[in-house]
Amino acid sequence: MAPTAKIADNNNAVELTRDIFNEWFKEEFTTTMTEREETRTRSIVIIATKGTIDWAYPPFILATTAAAMGWDVTIFFSFYALELLKKEMSLGITPIGNPAMPMKMPVGPTWFRDIKWRIPNAIMSNIPWFEEFTKGLFERTLKQHGVATISELRELAVEAGVNIVACQMTVDLFGYKKHDFIEEINEWGGAATMLPVAADADICMFI
């Protein structure tokens, strides 16, 4: 074989080795990254800002579900959401100005329960104790469907190891006393405390 042919064969051998190495590297890299993704612990940060019954459910349900899946979970309670951390919760609910809230009765025959009571705000706001009445109906509906109470969900979150952070600025702003809150709060902090945690989380939600 001529020297030039040998050189060509050598070049082909070098190119073949490079191709094989590149393919091997891609496969190893893909496998390693897949295994790393499957074994790493995901994280979620939930920023809760509301203090009514209907708005209390989303952060606790999401947090307890994520914790049950093995995720690292942090809930940052700010402004009115601090009501959800009090030892004695007194949460309300209001349909006024909330057209998405279904006004259905949890009692009576099926046809009666299916009625959507579209009551104008002007009427609702002038009926004494209307919000308390609505709260009672809402709580009864939740109970009939076997939905856990906010207290029960909070206990589940604590037992599941959810990191509970209370906004210190809100405490100072509203004149709250720390002894009014549950002892299971992991940290009292502010935006500077939460932003680094949120930046590293896989998911960050504002509720």
Q: What is the per-residue pLDDT across 33-44, written as a single tens digit (0 to 9) for each?
A: 676 666 678 999
- The pLDDT of 126-148, averaged and rounded, is 77
* pLDDT at residue 123, rounded to an integer: 63
**Residue 1 banded pLDDT, cuts 50, 70, 90:** very low
- Max mean pLDDT among 73-77, 112-116, 139-143 falls in 73-77
Non-local (6+) Cβ contacts of 82 within 8 A are: 51, 166, 167, 170, 171, 174, 176, 181
Q: How much helix, strand and coil, in percent to the nearest 5, is found in the chain?
A: 55, 15, 35
* pLDDT at residue 119, rounded to an integer: 66
* pLDDT at residue 38, rounded to an integer: 67
- Max mean pLDDT among 2-16, 110-124, 131-145 falls in 131-145
Q: What percent of the chain has pLDDT over 90?
A: 45
**Residue 4 banded pLDDT, cuts 50, 70, 90:** very low
**Of 193 and 94, which is predicted with more confidence?**
193
Cα–Cα distances (Å) from 69 to 21, 42, 65, 147, 153, in that order, read: 38, 9, 6, 20, 16
Distance between CA atoms of 171 and 155, rounded to whole angstroms? 22
- 7 has pLDDT over 90: no
Q: How much is the pTM?
A: 0.71
- Max mean pLDDT among 21-25, 26-30, 104-108, 146-150 falls in 146-150
DSSP 3-state assignment of 45?
strand
**Residue 2 banded pLDDT, cuts 50, 70, 90:** very low
Q: What is the mean pLDDT of the chain?
A: 81
Distance between CA atoms of 198 and 193, rounded to whole angstroms? 9
* pLDDT at residue 155, rounded to an integer: 94
CA 174 to chain centre: 25
- The pLDDT of 121-139, averaged and rounded, is 70
